[in-house]
Structure 1
Amino acid sequence: MASAIRPMLLRQTAALRAAATTTRSPILSRTSSPFQSAVTKNAVRVAAFHASSPRSILPPGPLNDAAPVPDPSPTHGSYHWTFERLVAAGLVPLTVAPFAAGSLNPTLDAILCAMLLVHSHSGAQSIIIDYIPQRKYPGAYKASIWLLNIATVLAGIGLYEFETNDVGITEAIKRVWKA
């Protein structure tokens, strides 16, 4: 409100000063003088709050450019989404089958471990893509993807060792469940 009033008050003050200096009539100078001083006082009070010139907050340059919009593609991301859904849906029978059938098949166990690893990797990758955007944090994004890939390889090696040198994941779950 004060910024809207300030230009009006300053214009009125300037107009009254110009009128008082150009016409030396005693009536106009007497009648406008008290009003002129009140307007000038108010204008000075308002101007005290607006002493600096208006400046833009952000510097000009690439920071204020619009985000590039990629060309529309009906299949962009759909293959990735479909693959994630197939892996998630495939985990349901793979987690139930070893316990329902009662057999401990190492091949079924290895497939379950691989699907769990792929499911975990794609879920963590989606989190990184969503919360550490490559356009905004290129270094952190690249480091996060590398850390995820390293963690996935280490988890795969650990699951392989657990499957080949120990009882396997389904037998371990059975033992924990009965304990």
Structure 2
Amino acid sequence: MASIVRSSPLLRQSLATPRSSLLSKNVGVSQLVAFHASARKQILPPQPLNDPAPLPETHPSEGSYHWSFERLVCLGLVPVTIAPFAAGSFNPVMDAVLCSLIVAHSHVGFQASIIDYFPAARVPKTRTFLNWLLRAFTLTTAVGLYEFETNDVGLTEGLRRLWTA
């Protein structure tokens, strides 16, 4: 029993050493270094942090025309989409208005996505490329719908035939 109570040399040595020397020995650092040895790869260029956003010059009609145009196109799509099928009239002018509103609505929606997800300060070349790509697709869609309207049955008649097929 006396040998258990008597302190061992290892216990005396651990009590004699100060705590700071144990922490300075870097116990277990080799495992952490091996885990963090991979290099960091930047996908996007670094963005400045905590810089104040520049405020543009204010103008009473700066964004109101754009917002009003978006709302008018969205609200105009509802009756123009329902009217040809509800009234039974398949008018080429109604088809042209419907196609124009669809193209404008799609263009404005994709343009808003490009503006939101590809900021010009961070990726200017990508944003410019995507804007030109959007313009090309918008023009291609408009020409395709024009050809479908003039050389085929038209959009509303084509949808009616698909619905009844």
TM-score (ref. length: structure 2): 0.71
Question: 1:64: Cα distance to partner?
Answer: 4.1
Q: How does 1:1-179 map to 2 (within 5 A)?
A: 38-39=17-18, 42-49=19-26, 63-64=48-49, 66-71=51-56, 73=58, 75-179=61-165
Confirm or deny: 8 A CA contact 2:73 2:101 kept in the other structure: yes
Structure 2 residue matching 1:167: 3-state secondary structure = coil
Q: In the alignment, residue 122 of structure 1 is paired with which amino acid? A: V
Structure (1/2) with the larger helix percentage: 1
Q: In the alignment, residue 23 of structure 2 is paired with which amino acid? A: V
Match of 1:6 in 2: none
Q: In the alignment, residue 53 of structure 2 is paired with which amino acid? A: P
Bigger radius of gyration: 1
* Worse-matched range after superposition: 152-161 or 70-79: 70-79
Confirm or deny: 8 A CA contact 2:84 2:94 kept in the other structure: yes
Question: 1:68: Cα distance to partner?
Answer: 2.7
Residues 142, 68 of structure 1: CA spacing in aligned structure 2 closer, same or farther, 3 A cutoff? same
Q: In the alignment, residue 92 of structure 2 is paired with which amino acid? A: P
Confirm or deny: 8 A CA contact 2:95 2:155 kept in the other structure: yes
Q: In the alignment, residue 45 of structure 1 is paired with which amino acid? A: L
CA distance in 2, matches of 1:62, 1:104: 54
CA distance in 2, matches of 1:137, 1:87: 30
Q: Give the length in aligned residue pairs.
A: 135
* Worse-matched range after superposition: 91-100 or 69-78: 69-78
Q: Kindly provide the CA deviation profile for residues 7-35 of structure 1, in whole angstroms up to 9, marking residues without a partner as x.
A: xxxxxxxxxxxxxxxxxxxxxxxxxxx9x
- Unaligned 5+ runs, structure 2: 1-12, 30-45
CA distance in 2, matches of 1:67, 1:118: 34
CA distance in 2, matches of 1:44, 1:89: 74
TM-score (ref. length: structure 1): 0.66
